[in-house]
Amino acid sequence: MTASLLVRRPGAAVALPPVEAPASAARRGAGLARRVAARTLPWLVRGLVGSAIVAFAALAVGPHVLGYRTMTMLTASMSPVIDPGDITIVTPVAVDDVTEGMVIAYNIPIDDHQVVTHRVISVERDAAGVVTVQTKGDANEAVDPWRAALQGDTAWQVRAVVPEVGHAIQALRGPLVAELLRYGAPALLAGWLLLAIWRPARGESAADAAEAAGTATDEEVRP
C-alpha cells in the first residue's frame, strides 16, 4: 500500500484564516456579557430577597414565636467568647436555676441600669428567696463592682453566639442604608417579578428558534 503526500509547490500562496472584524468581536463580547448578566441577576435578586426574609424571621418573628431574644455585644469584655459585633441569642431561665459559670444578660443596679452580658462567679440566696449574683467579664481583670439582685422569676442565659452579624445590623440602622432598603428592596423585588413574568420559558425559546431555522431553510431551497 502506497501513501501519497501533498507537496506544496515552491512559492505557492498559503491561505490564512479570515481575520475577525473588531466590531464583530465586540458584539460577541457584549452578547456574552448580556447572557451572563441575564443569568446572574435573577439569582442575585433571589439571594438578596431570601437573606432579607431569613434575617427578618430570625430577628423579628423568632423571638415572638420561640421565646428567645437577640442582643448585640458592644464591648470586648467577654472576648474571645463573645466579641464586639457578635449577636447573642438568650433564652429565659428560672432565677432559682442560675448557677456559677453561666453567662447571663441582666440590668446592672447602678447608673443607667444598662444591660450587660457577663459570666456569673457567685450566687447568693437570702431568706426571702431573692437571688443576688456577682459577675465578671472573661476579658476583664477585675470583678464587676456591684452585686445585682435578679428581678422577676426569670433571667436570660446566653445559649448561642452568631459572629459579626451585629456589625451588619448596626450598618443597616444607618440613615443612608435605611433609605436604600426602603426604596431599593421593593425595586429589586419588582424587577425580579418582572423578569419572572417576561422571560420566556426555555421550551418556548427552543421552539421559536427551531421554527425560525425551519423557515429559513424552506426559503433557501424554494425555487
pLDDT at residue 215 above 60? no
> What is the pTM for the complete model shown?
0.56
Number of domain units in the chain? 2
pLDDT band (50, 70, 90) for residue 49? low
Q: What is the mean pLDDT of residues 166-195?
A: 68
185 lies in the same domain as 137: no
| Amino acid 193: pLDDT | 74
Q: Report the range of poorest mean pLDDT among 60-64, 91-95, 137-141.
A: 60-64
- Residue 101 domain flag: yes
41 lies in the same domain as 79: no
127 lies in the same domain as 190: no
| Amino acid 219: pLDDT | 42
108 lies in the same domain as 182: no
pLDDT at residue 17 above 70? no
Residue 204: which H helix or E strand, with range? helix 202-221
pLDDT at residue 201 above 70? no
105 lies in the same domain as 140: yes
79 lies in the same domain as 114: yes
pLDDT band (50, 70, 90) for residue 33? confident
Q: What is the pLDDT of residues 76-96, one digit of tens each?
A: 999 999 998 898 999 999 999
Structural domain range at position 182: 33-67+165-199
54 lies in the same domain as 86: no
The SS3 assignment for 103 reads strand
Indicate which CATH number applies to the domain containing 155. Answer: 2.10.109.10
78 lies in the same domain as 157: yes
Q: What is the mean pLDDT of residues 195-202?
A: 63
Q: In what order do the strands lie in the sheet with 87-94?
A: 69-72, 87-94, 154-162, 103-107, 115-125, 131-136, 148-149
The SS3 assignment for 155 reads strand
156 lies in the same domain as 170: no
